[in-house]
Amino acid sequence: GQQVMQIPQYQHVQEGEDFTTYCNSSTTLSNIQWYKQRPGGHPVFLIQLVKSGEVKKQKRLTFQFGEAKKNSSLHITATQTTDVGTYFCLRLSGGSYIPTFGRGTSLIVHP
């Protein structure tokens, strides 16, 4: 499938600091999903963004979908140790639902 670039690969923060991970595509995305995988665990669905310029919030998490639908971001405000894990974006190809994960951003929160 077509690639989606995700940066950074790792992010170390002090507890209370903010965190952002970005996903970029060279082609227009029909939608984008975000998942979280805790160490030793499996991915858990967080959200799906569909509309151009869409912004959704879940408590301290803010998800954005770019106006051109080629990029997306996940921002965590005031990180906590429970936020530790790897955050993946996922694109679905066209109408055939072929999922492609970004490489993921591993968040490490230092207490």
Q: Which of 11, 25, 33, 71 binds another protein (CB under 8 A)?
A: 33
Query: Which residue has tokens 């967080």?
Result: 46
Listed ranges 20-28, 58-66, 72-80, 97-105: which one lies at the site for another protein (CB under 8 A): 97-105
Asked whether position 77 contacts another protein by CB under 8 A, the answer is no
The SS3 call for residue 57 is strand
Count the residues of the shown chain that bind another protein, applying the rule CB under 8 A.
20
Listed ranges 14-22, 43-51, 58-66, 72-80: which one lies at the site for another protein (CB under 8 A): 43-51
DSSP 61-100: EEEEE-TTSSEEEEEESS--GGG-EEEEEEEEETTTTEEE
First to last CA, the chain: 39
Q: Which of 19, 21, 25, 43 binds another protein (CB under 8 A)?
A: 43
